[in-house]
Structure 1
Amino acid sequence: MDDTPHPDDLLNVQTKAAGPAGNLPFTPEMLLSRPSGDVFALSQNAGMGWNPAQLNRREILILSTQGGIRQPDGTPIALGYHTGHWEVGLLMQAAAEEIASRGGLPFAGYVSDPCDGRTQGTTGMMDSLPYRNDAALVLRRLIRSLPNRRGVLGVATCDKGLPAMLMALAAFPDLATVIVPGGVTLPADGGEDAGKVQTLGARYAHGLITLKEAAEAGCRACATPGGGCQFLGTAATTQVVAEALGLSVPHAALAPSGQPIWKEMAQRSARSVLDLDSWGITTRDILTDEAIENAMTVHAAFGGSTNLLLHIPAIAHAARLRRPSVDDWARVNRATPRLVNVLPNGPDDYPTVLAFTAGGVPEVMLHLRRLGLLHEGCLTVTGKTLGENLDAWEHSERRVRLRALMWDRDGVDPDNVILPPDRARARGLTSTVCFPTGNVAPQGSVIKSTAIDASVVDADGVYRKVGPARVFTTERAAIEAIKGKGPQAVQAGDILVLICRGPMGAGMEEIYQITSALKYLPWGKQVAVITDARFSGVSTGACIGHVGPEALAGGPVGKLLDGDLIEIQVDRNHLVGSVNLVGRGETVWGAEEGERVLAARAPRLDLQADPALPDDTRLWAALQNASGGTWGGCVYDVDSITAFFGG
C-alpha cells in the first residue's frame, strides 16, 4: 500500500495555528523581577504540549546517551552505534513518568556515544578516549543551559558515555545528581560472549573455526537488544564504580537491560533525585575523597578494567578532589582481595548478569566491610550512609530471593560468583592491578595481573618472561603478524611491542583485537604485549599498557628494536613488577646496562603520529598532556593548560 500523501493534501500547507489553550502561571514577581528567559521558557513548555497549569514544578533534567530510533515494540527504525544506548530511552521514560507523578517537571537531553567494539582496529578508535572529554563538556553545557534545573539524572551505560556522564555530574557540587546505569545484555544460550566473538578473524586465520561457525557465532553474540557487554569490561566496571561512589541507588549496576527490575531501578533513581533536592543533599555531600577510595577498593575487589585508572582520576578532577596517584592505586590493590568470578578473568567465565543476581555491588561491599576496607560513613544518593545501606541490604528480601533464584533456576552458587574472602583465596583469585616500572617504562605502566594465564605463572606467583622484541608502529601490522602474515610473524615466546599508539600517536587507542586474538590462539599465552596504548576491559594475558613516557614523548619504549631481549617480571601476590631491556640477540647485559644502552640510542626513525589522526584528537592530546597526561586521567586542567601555554 502506498502511504504517500495525495498532492492536494501534501501541498495544503497551514500558516497559522490556534496555539495551546489555558493561561501561563505568571506572578507579578515573575514579570517584574525574573529574567526574560524564565518567562519565555514557560511559553516554550506550553508550546511543547505540557499542561500550562502544571508548569510551576521542580525542573529535573534527565540526560542520556541514547542512540538509534525504535518503534514502541522495539523494532528498529534506525540503529544505534551499540546495544548499550539502544534501550536507555526506556529508563528515561520510566524515570520521567515517576518524576511527573511526584510533582516534578522532567526535561530530557541526549548526547549519544560511540562503540569501542565497532571501532576496534579502525581509525574510529582514534576518537574513542577523546570523545569522553568532549561528551563531558557538552553534557556540562546542557546542564548549565537549563538554568532552573533542581536535579539531574544521568542515564548511561558504556565505555565512554558513562565516564563522561560521571565527569559531568561531578562538576556540579551544588546540585542533586544521580547516575542511572544502563545495565547489561544477556549472553546467548550456547553462544559466544561479545568479547570472544571479536576474535573470529584471528581464529579463522589459524584454522580454529570454520566460516559457517564464525557466521553463526557472530549472529548470536548479543542475545538481547540492550545493555552493555556481558563481561566485566570498562562499561560494566564503570557501572560498578558509579554505585561504589554512592551516586547510584543500591543494587543498580549490571541489571539485565529491558527487564522489570531494570526499569524499577530508574524509578527508584527518580524518587532519589527528588528526595535529595528536598533534603538539600548535593553532589558535594556524596562525592568526597573517601568515596573515591571506596570506588577504587570496589574496583579492585571486582577485578575491574584498567581503563578506570583513566576515568576515576578524571571524575575526581571534575569534582575538584585529589586525583589518586599510582601509589594510591598500588596501596588499594595490595590491600583488597579480588572477590568476583566473572568474565573475562574469573575461572568459571560467569557473565556479569550473574554478579547482579548474586548481589552485585552491595554484596561485594558486605565482604569488604567485614574486612574493614570501606569508609562506611560516606553519604549516598539514598540520603543514608553507605553503612546504613549495607545494613538494609544484608537483611533485604531482594537479596534473599535473587540469590535463591540463582540456585533454583541457574544451578549456580551465588557464593561462587561473589566469593567470600576465604573461598576467593582457595580458588587462587589474586589482586587486580600492578604497575611495572623499569628502563622501558620509567614513568610506569599498567598490567592487569589477574588476567595472566595461571599456567605461565611460576609456583611462587611471579610471572617471569625473557623474549625477543617484535616491534610494530601500527596496529594493523601487529594483527597481521599475529595472523601469521609477513616477515615479522609473531611466534610463541615473542614480546610484541606496539608503539606510537599513545595519546600523541593515535589518541591512546584500545587494542583489544590484539589481546583477544592472543587469548584465543593456543600459543597466545606464550606471547607478552608492551604498548603505550590502552586495553579493553575484557583484555587478558601478559599485557603491559599505558607505558610512560609514550614513544612520541621521548619514552625509551620508542628506542626498542627487533631482536632486543626484554625481561618482564610481575609478582601477582605483592603487585610489584618490572619491564627492562636486558640484552640483544643471544647476548644478555642485564637491566642496568640496558638502561645505559637505551640512553645512548637515538629514537627509531619510523616514529610518527598516525597519518589518519584527526586534528580534534591532536588538540585533545596536547591539552591532556599539559594537564598531567594519562596518569592524571587525560583531563583538561584549565589552570595547568594556561600555565603551560604561558597564560
Structure 2
Amino acid sequence: MENKKLRSSNWFGRQGKDGFIYRAWMKNQGIPGYEFNNKPIIGICNTWSELTPCNAHFRDLAESVKRGVLEAGGFPVEFPVMSLGETLMKPTAMLYRNLASMDVEESIRANPLDGVVLLCGCDKTTPALVMGACSVDIPAIVVSGGPMLTGRYKGNSIGTSDIWRFFSDLRGDLIKEEELLSIEASMCRSPGHCAVMGTASSMACMVESLGLSLPNNASIPAADSRRKVLAQLSGLRIVDMVKEDLKPSDILTRQAFENAIRVNAAIGGSTNFVIHLLAIAGRVGVPLNLNDFDRLSSGIPLIANLQPSGQYFMEDFYYAGGLQVVIKHLEQLLHKACITVNGKTIQQNYADATCYNTDVITTTGNPFNDLTGLAILSGNLCENGAVIKPSAASPHLMQHTGKAVVFDSIEDYHARIDSDDLEVDESSILVLKNVGPKGYPGMPEVGNMSLPKKLIQKGVKDMVRISDGRMSGTGFGTVVLHVSPEAATGNNFAVIRTGDLITLDVPNRLINVALSDEELADRKSKFIPPEPPVSRGYASLYADHVQQAHLGADMDFLRGRSGNKVTRDSH
C-alpha cells in the first residue's frame, strides 16, 4: 500500500481549500483527524430496507463488517443504495435492477472509496451490486444476507417453493383460506432470503463460485451467528484486497464464468442465473452467450437435493457441507486455478470440504437427478434462444407436441385462464406474450403460469408453458422462459396464434412452431406494434435501451467497464 496511492487520497490527502472541505465536513460526525491519514476508506454498500424483508437484518450485518475493517486498519463508511424487494415491488423488481446498478456504480465512482463491501441478498440486489461494482472496478467483496431458517407447518418442512403448491391446492378447493393463513404464519420465521434454491440462493452461489465472496458465503443461514463472523472476516479481508489491488477484473475471467455455469447446473439454480450472469459478463467485457450455458451445463447432473428441484432446504445444505462440497465434487470439470477474493485459488478453498449428508449433496457418479439444471433451446419460435430448467420439469413433457393456447398479455391471461369456455386440455401448451423486457416492461416472473382451474380440479399437475418473461427461482414445472426476441419486437414469437402446433424437444434442445417461413413472414408483415407501456421517466428510458434476454437485459449504454477514474472536481 505504501507504494500505491490510495484513491481516497484524491479527496482527503489534498492540501488547501479542497482538502479542508473534504475533511472538515466529514469531521462533523466526530471523526478524529488521524482517520484520514493514508488509511484505506472502505465503503459498505448497504441494500438494507424495511421494504426489502430479505435484507432487513443488514444493519446488524454492516456493524460486523465495520469491526473487520477497523481491525485491519481501514476506515469504514456505510452508504445506502436503491434496495430491490422482490416480494413487494411493482411492476417487477427486475425493471429496477439496472437502475440500482447505476446507483451503485455512480455512488462508488463519485466518492472517496478505496474498496467496497457489497451487502446483498434479495434476488436482484446481488446482480445489481455486482454489475455496478464491476463497472467501476475497485476492490470489492460480496457478503450475502443468507437464507432464512426452514419453515415448519404441522411437523413438515416448508419453504417458498411450496407457495405454488398451496396456491394450486386453494384454487382446486383442496384447502381453505383459513389454513392458508396458518401456513403463511409458519413459513418465514427468521431473517433472510428464500430458504430454497431460488434466485436469491442461486445468486449467493453464483458469487461464491465466481470467487467474489469468502467460502461458505452462499449457505450460512441469516440467523446463524456464523453469518456475522463471515461479515467481519470480509471486512478484514477487503482492506488487504485494497493493499494488493485485487479487483473484480482480476477475478472475473472467462474461466471463472465457466465455473459458475457448471456449478449452477449441479445445484439446480434459478433460470434467472442466466440473465444475471450474462449482464455481469457484459459489464466486464467477457464474451459469453446462451450456447455457452448449454454446452457447459450439458452432462452435469443435479447433485444438490434442494427445493424446488428436490426435497431439502438451504439450511440443510449448509449443515451438509455447503457449496464447497459441490465444487469439490465437480473438481474434474472446473478451472481450479481461478483466483478468489481471499487470494487463494478455488481449489485451495474447497480442498478440505467434507460432505456430512449424502442425501442432501450427492455425487456426480450417483446423482440425485440425472437431468441437468439448465438447458438452452433453439428453433423458429425463439430465434435467439430460450431457457428451460429440466431438473424442475415433468419427464413426460420433455418431448411434447400440443396446440397453443395464446394469451396476448398478463391481463388477458388473468381474465380468461379460469373461464369454463377456455378451450384447453392437458395436452395444450399455454403461451404468454408481451411480458418481456420491453413489452411489460421489466420482464416479470409470470412465466410459470398457474394452470386452468378446471384442469387442476381434474388432477393435472403440469403443462408446457412458454413466455418471453421469467419465472421465480422458487418455481417449477415444464416452463420455457426468456423467449428471445420477445413478442413486443414483432418477431416470430409475436405472431403465434391459438391453435398453432408447437413441439418441445428438450433432449434435442429444440422448440418449434409448425409454421412455414412463408407463413411466419406473412404474419409478421401484418404485425401492429403495441402501444408503448410507459411514456416517461426511468421506465421509458429502460424500454428504449434495454437489450433482449439473450444478452442479459442490461441497458445498451451500460455494457463494458468504464473504470474508477475521477474525471472532474467541482471545487
TM-score by length of 1: 0.79
1:155-554 mapped onto 2 (5 Å cutoff) = 155-173=119-137, 175-190=138-153, 192-197=158-163, 200-224=166-190, 226-322=191-287, 324-346=288-310, 349-369=311-331, 372-391=332-351, 393-394=352-353, 403=356, 414-424=357-367, 427-454=368-395, 456-457=396-397, 463-482=398-417, 484-485=418-419, 487-488=421-422, 490-512=424-446, 514-515=448-449, 521=456, 523-554=459-490
Question: What do residues 196-231 of structure 1 show as CA deviations (whole Å, max 9, x unaligned)?
Answer: 22565543232021121111112222111x211011
On the 8 A contact 1:518/1:525 being kept in 2, the answer is no
Change (3 A) 1:568 1:320: closer
Partner of 1:92: 62
On the 8 A contact 1:170/1:319 being kept in 2, the answer is yes
Q: Does 1:632 align with 2:546?
A: no
Q: Post-superposition shift, 1:526?
A: 4.3
The amino acid across from 2:471 in the alignment is F
The amino acid across from 2:150 in the alignment is P
Q: Post-superposition shift, 1:490?
A: 4.7
Change (3 A) 1:188 1:63: same
On the 8 A contact 1:45/1:55 being kept in 2, the answer is no
On the 8 A contact 2:12/2:36 being kept in 1, the answer is no
In structure 2, distance between residues paired with 1:356 and 1:41: 45
SS of corresponding position for 2:370? coil
In structure 2, distance between residues paired with 1:419 and 1:609: 50
Q: Which stretch has the larger CA shift, 438-447 or 599-608?
A: 599-608
Change (3 A) 1:492 1:265: same
On the 8 A contact 1:505/1:613 being kept in 2, the answer is no
In structure 1, distance between residues paired with 2:416 and 2:544: 31
On the 8 A contact 1:532/1:550 being kept in 2, the answer is yes
Q: Post-superposition shift, 1:546?
A: 1.3
Partner of 1:587: none
Question: What do residues 453-487 of structure 1 show as CA deviations (whole Å, max 9, x unaligned)?
Answer: 23x25xxxxx22222211112223324544x2363
On the 8 A contact 2:413/2:432 being kept in 1, the answer is yes
Q: Does 1:45 align with 2:26?
A: yes
In structure 2, distance between residues paired with 1:633 and 1:31: 38
Structure 1 residue runs of 5 or longer lacking an equivalent are 1-28, 68-79, 404-413, 458-462, 583-592, 642-647
Partner of 2:540: 618
Change (3 A) 1:516 1:236: farther
1:131-146 mapped onto 2 (5 Å cutoff) = 131-146=96-111
SS of corresponding position for 1:299? helix
Q: Does 1:598 align with 2:558?
A: no
Q: Post-superposition shift, 1:41?
A: 2.5
- The structure with the largest alpha-carbon Rg is 1
Change (3 A) 1:196 1:526: closer
On the 8 A contact 2:109/2:136 being kept in 1, the answer is no
SS of corresponding position for 1:41? helix
In structure 1, distance between residues paired with 2:467 and 2:442: 10
Q: Post-superposition shift, 1:257?
A: 0.6
On the 8 A contact 1:170/1:287 being kept in 2, the answer is no
The amino acid across from 1:419 in the alignment is T
The amino acid across from 1:495 in the alignment is I
In structure 1, distance between residues paired with 2:140 and 2:259: 19
In structure 2, distance between residues paired with 1:635 and 1:492: 36
On the 8 A contact 2:302/2:369 being kept in 1, the answer is no
In structure 2, distance between residues paired with 1:255 and 1:232: 13
On the 8 A contact 1:254/1:355 being kept in 2, the answer is yes
Change (3 A) 1:516 1:360: farther
The amino acid across from 2:173 in the alignment is G
TM-score by length of 2: 0.89
Partner of 2:499: 563
Partner of 2:6: none
Q: Post-superposition shift, 1:606?
A: 7.9
Change (3 A) 1:517 1:352: farther
SS of corresponding position for 1:61? strand
SS of corresponding position for 1:116? coil
Q: Does 1:61 align with 2:43?
A: yes
Q: Post-superposition shift, 1:613?
A: 7.7
On the 8 A contact 1:30/1:39 being kept in 2, the answer is no
The amino acid across from 1:542 in the alignment is T
CA-atom RMSD, angstroms?
A: 2.7
In structure 2, distance between residues paired with 1:421 and 1:595: 42
Partner of 2:568: none
Partner of 1:72: none
Greater RCO structure (CA 8 Å; 6+ sep): 2
Q: Does 1:581 align with 2:513?
A: yes
Structure 2 residue runs of 5 or longer lacking an equivalent are 1-9, 561-571
In structure 1, distance between residues paired with 2:177 and 2:553: 41
Q: Post-superposition shift, 1:36?
A: 4.1
Change (3 A) 1:44 1:566: same
In structure 1, distance between residues paired with 2:306 and 2:231: 25
Change (3 A) 1:201 1:428: closer
In structure 1, distance between residues paired with 2:540 and 2:374: 29
Change (3 A) 1:528 1:150: same
In structure 2, distance between residues paired with 1:364 and 1:609: 47
Change (3 A) 1:183 1:37: farther
In structure 2, distance between residues paired with 1:556 and 1:35: 64
SS of corresponding position for 1:416? coil
On the 8 A contact 2:490/2:529 being kept in 1, the answer is no
Question: What do residues 15-71 of structure 1 show as CA deviations (whole Å, max 9, x unaligned)?
Answer: xxxxxxxxxxxxxx999954744432322222112234434232111001100xxxx
On the 8 A contact 2:440/2:533 being kept in 1, the answer is no
